Chain A
Amino acid sequence: MRNHVLFYINGEAAHVTGDDAFLSLSDFLRRRRHLTGTKVVCAEGDCGSCSVLIGRPGGDALRYVAVTSCIQRVFQLDGAHVVTVEGLRDGEQLSPIQASMTKCHGAQCGFCTPGFVVALHQMAEQKIEPTRENACRALVGNLCRCTGYDAILRAATETNYAAVTPLAKKYNSAEMRSELAAAVGEDVLLETPTHRIYKPATLVQALKFRAETPHATIVAGATDWGVLINKRVREITSVIALCDVRELRGIHVDDETIHVGATATLAELERVSLEALPALGEFTKYFGSPPIKAAATLAGNLATGSPIGDSLPALMALGATITLASHSRPNGGRRSAPLDAFYTGYRQSVMRPDELIVSIEIPRLRDGETLKLYKVSKRKDLDISSVSAAIFLRQDGDTIADARIALGGVGPTVTRVAAAEDAIRGGGVQLDRFERAATIVRSTVKPISDVRGSADYRRALAGNLILKCFHDLASPEPAIGGVR
């Protein structure tokens, strides 16, 4: 059992013990390593200024993704290579991306700039074709208040990416790779008088610790918990970090189902579902932002159980199930809980104190099945929904044989509206049926007024989304863009 965190920063090893292991990565970089290029603005992952690149072992080289370092705790970096903006230069020269940002006036006040540089380097790492549209998608996690983004997009599209040194080449150390790979397979337990973190390498160990310490906070990407810590809503006490449990990794697709491991990130889900369940994949583009999705897990999104969680309505309408495991049942016995029966109240679920989510099973669409997903928020990207809706239909010829409607943001939990489903079920795609469903939805939901919208607005939206779905099904209009 290792009792320190082992990771690398810009090619140099870092061994961290004690309270420092519980610092946010951004604070650690800024205050302990004086790497002040990483800026902190919001401390909640919503501006991207603190973005850094994280490389983790996978295959023969590290694979790098950008994450927001303000909501990562140092212990989560165990076994990773952190590259900060300071580590992106080519020796004394600016990297081609940095040079392009300079030339194109992509930096004004400079405070958001390191985050954008990191995000652009992630584009290079992932070999994303630098079209304006792709660059836009890659940068939605970064806020800039000065430039209006246009110059940054120009820098993004005008960079000669062929000249950008891949990080695996820039930090080509076999010693670092093997040390990190070994670290990932080790259990880590770190204790201070007030904090305790356990990072198991296997599911058996994880379940055992979970049973022994039922009040320990379970984290994987920790993108929600990290915010709560920063904003002093929660305090760090005892934590179980699942990030390196080998049985929980990855996404597996078969003919019927997408099996999502508990530590699979939303970025992985987006990538896989674009192929296996395109309606969900396209929708996932509008979850959070690339650096959030690179850390956040689907299991975490479901386990926190927020009624405005982005994935919940979609998965509920699809009929997804959650697989839970427990140390107390024989062989780490598993049970399956349908998502639409998972939540019992605001952020409450049927998950027991000794259980962990091990995977999520998402049924793929079959012939005749349609999934329509809607998320209404004040801003299109990097926002939390005011109301979201998922409508699943199975059509038998012209008849809607089955319908599931799941709504978020209109009550304490994401919820199905059975009466509205009944209104649609059994007929064709007819306006009067959808209008009846919309009316039922409006009278059924019990939204509240808050910063993201009034109760009246939410009620109206919930109904309107049913009508919007009708129009999308009945007479899909071409995309609105493309002004002549």
Chain B
Amino acid sequence: MSVVGKDIAHEAAATHVSGESLFLDDLPPLHGELTAAIVPCPVAHGRLKRIDVEAARRLPGVAAILLAADVGKHNLFGPVVKDEALIVEDEAAFLGQPLALIAARDAASLDAARKAIVVEVEPLPATFTIDEAIAAKQFFGSVRQMARGDVDAGFAEADLTLEGAFEIGGQEHFYLESQIAIAVPGERGVMTVHSSTQHPSEVQAMVAEVLDVDFNHVTCICQRMGGGFGGKETQAAQPAMYAALLAKKTNRPVRFAYDKDDDMRFTGKRHPFKTWWRAGFKRDGRATAIELKLFANGGCSTDLSFAVLERAMLHSDNAYYLPNARIEGRVCKTNLPSNTAFRGFGGPQGVATIENVMSEIALALKMDAIEVRRANVYGVHERNVTHYGQRVTLPSAAAAPRLNPTDEAAHGNGHADAEIARPSLEREEGTNERETLLSSAPRVKEDGERRAGTHQANGVADTSLPPATRASQADKGLEHGNPLPFLLDTLRRECDYDARRLDLEAFNAQSKTHLRGMALSAVKFGISFTRRTLNQANALVNIYTDGSVLVTTGATEMGQGVHTRIRQVVSDALGVRYEKVRVGATNTDKNNNTSPTAASTGTDLNGAAAQDACDRLRGRLAEVAATMLASADAGLTAETTQIAFADGVVFDRRAPDRAIAFEAVVARAYELRVSLGERGHYATPGVDFNRDTGKGTPFLYYTNGVACAEVSVDRFTGEMTNERVDLIMDVGVPLNPGIDRGQVIGGFIQGMGWCTTEELVYKPDGTLLSHSPTTYKIPNVSDLPRIFNVRFLDNPHNTVSLKRSKAVGEPPLLLGLSVWLAAKDAVSYASIEGARGLALPATGERLLAALSAKPVDVGGVGRSPRRVRESSVLAGGDRKP
């Protein structure tokens, strides 16, 4: 029985709930292990005049203190540009930058050492905000541009033009497990680093560089993280480097763990943005020209800021066709810890920018914003090319055949060519082995459409589908790869948007104490790393002589369930029972040169690589099994192409009753000296992007979704209540619906937090005041919408990805914006001015200020402008009975 597509529990769930899962700080100390800490710089920008560590060095229990001079030539580090000092040499760039590293036998000795270190830092003028950085002309890199059409002509054509500035706040990752690494020195310069990281290969490389050894001397291992969300993509490296340097110096194991306060104070966050926008549009709401200037607050060093900015620019269209667009972007340099990857990676800021513009257009036209969104949404057959030149529809017919498995690849006799790996990404192979299985083993057929056989990706109607389904799917635009208009219309109808809008207006007219607001927004999120090189993965699949299977890939497990999904894929690919497959810790000894588990691609890339390895293993085993199953009595010759693997047995399709155990085939293969290990590789085909021209096809496909949020806002306090959310997500055919649902809801709520209660508050000197859960408020269970309807779009057309699935990690986060847009809508009933100026997040304080932007009539007799045109209500009058 196939396990792909099944609602299987997270593979570590049982030990998570029993408390037995081991996170790094749960490992007992190794013999002689030291604990480590930094000496944080007390000012955000300053010149280090003096640091005296001699007294501290002499304290009992202190094993080592390292200064910049001890690090040597590799003190500067960075994942892209080496522009951040691991330990301050002379000029400190942010508050908390290490002035020294300490290793000691226990926490008390660390404290004593810190107190004994004499530090003198001369404060220098510091820059924290985007406005300050722009004024001081402090930037990283040059202005980035993307453009399409004739923007000036677009503005000339417009009936109305609007402009404004929009502030978007940062966000603390608040992974529950703070950054941690344990470095264990070995002989001859070898270092093993256990790290809570999304990117073991980068930790390996950075540790090797700072230790000045070849990469092959450093192993990085990650069993799991207690959450990552992007915060452990590049910035897990610093704790690993601290621990490794101290381990090398002392030749003892060293553990470095931030506590939550220091982690929040000293590590990077989601980039705050400020965007200046100008929009020209027709009276029907259609945008004719969009001009955006995006500024990202990069913090003190480059980190991933260029890529974050790029993704923001690539998502500044979101679901909307911008015929004439000019988008500029710039990264600002400030004295904050370097801002970094965070789920969505610039996408949320780009999408927030354009969604805000859509709402502003609606406010200006006194239209319901849903009409403006519908008027601008990407089309299926036209208006379907992004400002960077990629079609939002599925890849052309020319690309599709290469992505479909051939019999050869499916059965492992062929090998991937040099450029494009060809694992059998399809759930059903051309020979339809599973359908054959149906006849021999009773099985619940769960979804006719999904199971109906191979679909074509080339835009030709899928003849395997029943005619009725075909017709309805053509209407949905699904088979062309753009379900956005269909999703908007469907959710509008399903959530009873128009009737509720009338109710809401009546409520707002009468209530003296509360205002309601509602917004329906979409997301179109591009899947692939925008840096082409990263779109590759490798996997190692070992079959042991007892028939058990161990798979390792570059994918790191942070709760998202990538190991579960890979286990499902491998289980199906080898036809072995799920219990027989184990996914091992991510380990650079086993999988080299891996990409970060990021950009939502963990399963897409690593699952495909594992599939590739399994395909070839199965090919070899099929040859062995064919011989074993050949039988003169049954009239069967050894025919490799007829061999099938399922449910732990291997059989010849022509005589399925004569199945032999997988273990027996494995044992025989071992006797015959057939290799039982395989390394798979996958490289995403066809993605590319030219930074200079701002054009290309950076994404393999898009994951889409829509959400409608309704909120109420207290007119006296600005407190917001999330009344209802309806959400439809297009994740193709989910590999694991339960896990995907968890990603959708978890992402949505995390996005909602960014938009509402999560506010980073600093003192004027740059000290972060919101540095723990007491002061930084992520959503609580009681912040869930009172009514919360979540479902998947049934979309079997994504043939370019593993098993027709779609990546799900980041996209749902962007739907959290619907809550912010609903708050903006609510405010507009009291004050259009207040709504126009609303920043993100919409905290209670901001909402109250916005409500008061024009005198709030608490007597309740005031009336906001009527916002829904009668015609639009009637047009959408598809009301439920």
B176: Cβ under 8 A from any A Cβ: yes
Given A109-B225, A147-B746, residue A101 in contact with residue B17 (CB < 8 A): yes
Known pairs A150-B788, A153-B781; A102 contacts B19 (CB<8 A): no
Interface readout for A217-258 with B: 1 if CB under 8 Å, 0 if not? 000000000000001100000000000000000000000000
For the complex, what is the distance from the CA of A386 to the CA of B761, rounded to whole Å? 14
Contact stretch, chosen from A31-39, A174-182, A199-207, A359-367: A31-39
Select which of A49, A84, A452, A465 is within 8 A of B775 by beta carbon.
A452
Per the bound structure, the CA–CA distance linking A145 and B739 in Å amounts to 15
Which segment of A1-9, A110-118, A273-281, A398-406 sits at the interface? Answer: A110-118
Q: Do residues B745 and A102 form an inter-chain contact, with CB atoms below 8 A?
A: no
Which A residues are CB-close (under 8 A) to B26? 30, 36
Residue B738 is within 8 A (CB to CB) of chain A in the complex: yes
Which of B418-426, B828-836, B845-853 sits within the interface? B845-853
Does B47 sit at the interface, judged by CB under 8 A?
Answer: no
Residues B52-70 near A (CB distance < 8 A): none
Separation of A391 and B214 alpha carbons in the complex (Å): 70
Among B626-634, B645-653, B766-774, which stretch is in contact with chain A? B766-774
Contacts of B724 in A (CB 8 A): 483
> Hey, what's the 0/1 contact readout for A54-80 against B, CB within 8 Å counting as 1?
000000000000000000000000000
**For residue B229, which residue of chain A has the nearest CB?**
A145
Contact with A along B490-534 (1 / 0, CB 8 A): 000000000010010000000111100000000000000000000
Asked whether A46 lies within 8 Å of B774 as measured between CB atoms, the reply is yes
A149 to B28 CA separation, bound complex (whole angstroms): 31
B778 within 8 A of A: yes
- B393 at interface, CB cutoff 8 A: no
Q: Which of A134-142, A162-170, A413-421 contacts B (4 or more CB under 8 A)?
A: A134-142
Within 8 A of B (CB), among A138-164: 139-140, 142-153
Q: Which residues of A contact B560 (CB under 8 A)?
A: 108, 146
Measured in the bound complex, the distance between the Cα atoms of B23 and A39 in whole Å is: 9
Residues 1-59 of B contacting A (Cβ, < 8 Å): 9-10, 12-23, 25-26, 28
Q: Are A34 and B28 in contact (CB under 8 A)?
A: yes
Which of A113, A454, A468 has its CB near the most chain B CB atoms (within 10 A)? A113
Task: Please indicate the chain B residues that have their CB under 8 angstroms from the CB of A99 in the complex.
Answer: 17
Cα distance, A417 to B230, chains bound together (Å) = 49
CB distance from A451 to the nearest CB of B (A): 4
* Residues of the A chain whose Cβ atoms lie less than 8 Å from the Cβ of B712: 480
Q: Which residues of B contact A457 (CB under 8 A)?
A: 845, 848-849
A477 with B512, Cβ < 8 A, contacts A143-B176, A465-B716 known: yes
User: Which of chain A's residues 438-484 have a Cβ closer than 8 Å to chain B?
Assistant: 450-454, 457, 460-461, 464-465, 467-468, 471-472, 475, 477, 480-484
Q: Mark B687-730, 1 if CB is under 8 A from A, else 0.
A: 00000000000000000000000101010110101011000000
Whether A109 lies near B723 (C-beta < 8 A) is no
- A383 lies within 8 A of B777 (CB): yes
Asked if residues B18 and A98 are in contact (CB atoms below 8 Å), the reply is yes
How far, in angstroms, from A103 to B8 measured CA to CA in the complex? 8
Q: B852-881 interface mask toward A, CB cutoff 8 Å, 1 = contact, 0 = none?
A: 100000110000000000000000000000
- The answer on a CB contact under 8 Å between A110 and B750 is no
With contacts A145-B778, A379-B757 taken as known, whether A41 is within 8 angstroms of B260 at the C-beta atoms is yes
Residues of B within 8 A of A148 (CB): 742, 745-750, 779, 784
Residue contact A380 to B23, C-beta cutoff 8 Å: no
CA distance A482 to B710 in the complex (A): 12
Nearest CB on A from B748, distance (A): 6
A:88-115 near B, CB below 8 Å: 88-89, 94, 98-99, 101-103, 105-114
**For the complex, what is the distance from the CA of A286 to the CA of B26, rounded to whole Å?**
33
Say yes or no for A188: interface residue by CB 8 A criterion: no
Residue from A35, A94, A378 with most neighbouring chain B CB atoms (10 Å): A378
On whether A46 and B772 interact (CB within 8 A), knowing A146-B746, A231-B261, the answer reads yes
Neighbour of A475 across the interface among B16, B503, B512, CB < 8 A: B512
Q: Is the CB of B781 within 8 A of A152?
A: yes
Determine if B259 is an interface residue (Cβ-Cβ < 8 Å).
yes
Closest-CB distance, A416 to chain B (whole angstroms):
21
| Residues A477 and B514 in contact in the complex (CB < 8 Å), given A41-B176, A464-B717 | yes
Residues in A whose Cβ lies below 8 Å from that of B14: 94, 98, 102
Cβ B769 vs Cβ A450 within 8 A: yes
Q: Contacts of A453 on B, CB cut-off 8 Å? A: 845
Once bound together, how far apart are the Cα atoms of A475 and B226, in whole Å?
Answer: 49
Residues of A with C-beta under 8 A to B714: 468
B463: interface (CB < 8 Å):
no
Interface presence of B536 (CB below 8 A):
no
Contact A461 B777 (CB under 8 A): no
Q: Can you name the residue of chain A whose Cβ is closest to the Cβ of B26?
A: A36
Contacts of A88 in B (CB 8 A): 18
A373-390 Cβ-contact flags toward B at 8 Å (1 or 0): 010101111111010000
Residue of B whose beta carbon sits closest to that of A119:
B781
- A43 contacts B by Cβ under 8 Å: yes
**Pair B721/A94 contact, Cβ less than 8 Å:** no
Asked whether B783 lies within 8 Å of A145 as measured between CB atoms, the reply is no
Q: Is A128 an interface residue (CB 8 A)?
A: no
Q: A38-B19, A376-B719, A484-B500 are in contact. Are A149 and B784 (CB under 8 A)?
A: yes
Choose among B13, B22, B227 the residue that contacts A145 (Cβ–Cβ < 8 A): B227
In the bound complex, CA of A294 to CA of B603 (Å): 43
Contacts of A89 in B (CB 8 A): 18
Q: Is A85 an interface residue (CB 8 A)?
A: yes
Q: Are A480 and B848 in contact (CB under 8 A)?
A: no
- Grouping DSSP codes into helix (H, G, I), strand (E, B) and loop, the A interface class, with mixed when no group exceeds half, is loop
Q: Is A298 interfacial (CB-CB < 8 Å)? A: no
The residues of A that contact B858 with a CB separation of less than 8 Å are 467, 471
The interface on chain B, measured as residues whose beta carbon lies within 8 A of the other chain's beta carbons, has a size of 91
Q: How far is the CB of B830 from chain A (nearest CB, A)?
A: 13
In the bound assembly, the distance between CA atoms of A153 and B786 in angstroms comes to: 12
With an 8 A cutoff between CB atoms, is A431 at the interface?
Answer: yes
- A461–B782 CA distance with the chains assembled, in angstroms: 23
* Complex contact B17–A108 (CB within 8 A): no
Query: Would B745 and A109 count as touching, CB distance under 8 A?
Result: no
- The yes or no answer to A44 lying at the interface (CB within 8 A) is yes
Contact B514 A109 (CB under 8 A): no
* CA–CA, A106 and B561, complex, Å: 12
Q: Is the CB of A140 within 8 A of B781?
A: yes
Min CB gap A210→B, angstroms: 30
Q: Are B19 and A86 in contact (CB under 8 A)?
A: yes
A47 at the interface (CB under 8 A from B): yes
Nearest-neighbour CB distance to chain A for B735, whole angstroms, equals 14
Residues of B within 8 A of A146 (CB): 227, 559-560, 742, 746
Look across to chain B and name the residue whose beta carbon is closest to the beta carbon of A137: B782
Q: Closest Cβ of chain B: how far from A64's Cβ, in Å?
A: 17
The verdict on A42 contacting chain B, using a C-beta distance below 8 Å, is yes
Q: Which residues of A contact B (CB under 8 A)?
A: 30, 34-39, 41-44, 46-47, 49, 84-86, 88-89, 94, 98-99, 101-103, 105-114, 117, 136-137, 139-140, 142-153, 231-232, 374, 376, 378-384, 386, 431, 450-454, 457, 460-461, 464-465, 467-468, 471-472, 475, 477, 480-484
Q: What are 25 A-B pairs at a CB distance below 8 A?
A: A36-B26, A39-B23, A41-B178, A41-B260, A46-B773, A46-B774, A47-B176, A98-B14, A102-B10, A103-B9, A109-B177, A110-B23, A114-B16, A136-B784, A146-B559, A150-B790, A374-B717, A378-B759, A380-B780, A380-B782, A381-B781, A451-B761, A451-B769, A467-B716, A481-B786
Give 9 closest A-B pairs by Cβ, nearest first. Answer: A37-B19, A109-B559, A111-B226, A110-B16, A148-B749, A108-B559, A85-B19, A36-B26, A148-B745
Q: Which residues of B contact A (CB under 8 A)?
A: 9-10, 12-23, 25-26, 28, 111, 173-178, 224-229, 259-261, 500, 503, 511-514, 558-561, 710, 712, 714, 716-717, 719, 721, 723-724, 738-739, 741-742, 745-750, 757, 759, 761, 769-770, 772-775, 777-784, 786-788, 790, 843-845, 848-849, 852, 858-859
Given A114-B19, A147-B746; 10 other pairs, CB 8 A cutoff: A30-B26, A98-B14, A117-B17, A145-B750, A148-B784, A150-B788, A383-B777, A472-B513, A484-B500, A484-B503
